[in-house]
Structure 1
Amino acid sequence: MLSIQVSDTKNFMSHLLSGNTFDHFYFIEASIKMGVSYQIQGRINEGFYDTSVEQTLHRDFCYWKEVRNRIFDIIKGKRLPLSCKIVLGLPKQSVSYLISHSNSTFREDDIEGIYVNILYDPKTLLITTGISYKNFSLDKSLEYAFDEYLAKFLKEKAAL
């Protein structure tokens, strides 16, 4: 598990809320505490869409780019949130790529999800990673590969 304390909060939040840096990630959930608290789930409600749209989605979660502006609208203003937690997930095709390009023995079916947790409070901004396995394993090779991927990704995007 990777844990990064972000030193330039303004730059990172600009990448997260205004830029397209994280648009290809799934949006899993957000919890924002301001004057009132907001709990937002990223799971797609299939009953909302007609069947032709449902058939083209082939995913359980919306992409970050589909909700980014709404989250930004909640957060923006004169006062900063008391706290904020945003969980993003790696899409299935990226999970497959990561598995195939690592020294991991895992298969895509072994993985429930690969996540990036963004935790903000007025004093700190912390990024952590995590993997949810369908079965217990002592093998940490995929975690190491994802941590390396994310650190490289954030550096390339100048998000840190």
Structure 2
Amino acid sequence: MKSIQIKNIKKFMSDALIHETFDKFTISEATVKTAVSFVIDGKINRDFFGGDPDLPEDGSDSEESVSAAKDSSAKGNASGEFYREPFIKYGKIRHILFEIIKGKRTPVFFRLVFHAPRQLTEQILAEADTGFTMRDVNSLTFTATFKDGGLTVTTGTNLAAFSLDKSVDEAWDKYMEKYMEQFD
């Protein structure tokens, strides 16, 4: 776990709300406190899609996403279950957060909980040569918290079982430190 102080808050907010900088990540929660509080649960509600077996990984219903989901549904894991991202891609709800946050007044508080998508998690595990597999990692996360005029990004890892080996944590922390350098 690493805490990274964001120096260029204006650029971070512009990238988070207007640009595609964070769109590859999924988001499990967004909490924004302005005149009222808003809480968005990013967990994909599969019932909304009527049990469609071709539900895209990101919860969208574009033809391209459905096609990609069909291609990936042939690849099950060892337990016979098919992998699906549990949370919506940030890019699908970014415009909603923009509408909530835009205006002359800065929010009193916000917290955005992002998750690395499967492909990025696999990449980090491979590059770090940790010995861990996707089965060992529940999630790689980072939480952006704006409070008292400051913005902090905190990394986190959630392993399937307890381990004294911190190589996954270190690899994720290193990746996020480099990713957040653009906001120095």
What is the TM-score normalised by the length of structure 2?
0.80
Deviation, 1:149, is 1.1
2-side partners of 1:45 and 1:159: how far apart?
33
1:23 alignment partner AA: D
Q: Does 1:95 align with 2:96?
A: no
Deviation, 1:44, is 0.7
1-side partners of 2:170 and 2:179: how far apart?
14
Deviation, 1:74, is 0.6
1-side partners of 2:53 and 2:160: how far apart?
31
1-side partners of 2:180 and 2:6: how far apart?
11
Q: Does 1:36 align with 2:62?
A: no
1:54 alignment partner AA: L
2-side partners of 1:102 and 1:3: how far apart?
20
Deviation, 1:122, is 3.7
| Inter-CA distance 135–30: structure 2 relative to 1 (3 Å threshold) | same
Superposition misfits of 4+ residues, deviation over 2 angstroms: 55-59
Q: Does 1:106 align with 2:107?
A: no
1:98 alignment partner AA: I
1:8 alignment partner AA: N
2:9–2:183 Cα contact (<8 Å) kept: no
1-side partners of 2:129 and 2:114: how far apart?
24
1:103–1:142 Cα contact (<8 Å) kept: no
2:157–2:169 Cα contact (<8 Å) kept: yes
2-side partners of 1:61 and 1:33: how far apart?
22
2-side partners of 1:152 and 1:79: how far apart?
30
Q: Secondary structure at the match of 1:22?
A: coil
2-side partners of 1:52 and 1:134: how far apart?
26
2-side partners of 1:54 and 1:127: how far apart?
31
Q: Secondary structure at the match of 2:183?
A: coil
Aligned residues: 158
- Which residue, out of 52, 61, 65, partners 2:91? 65
Deviation, 1:38, is 1.1
Q: Secondary structure at the match of 1:104?
A: coil
**RMSD (Å) for aligned C-alpha atoms:** 1.5
> 1:159 is matched with which residue?
183
Deviation, 1:147, is 1.1
> 1:3 is matched with which residue?
3
1-side partners of 2:158 and 2:91: how far apart?
23
2-side partners of 1:39 and 1:138: how far apart?
35
Q: Secondary structure at the match of 2:27?
A: strand
2:136–2:159 Cα contact (<8 Å) kept: yes
Deviation, 1:89, is 0.3
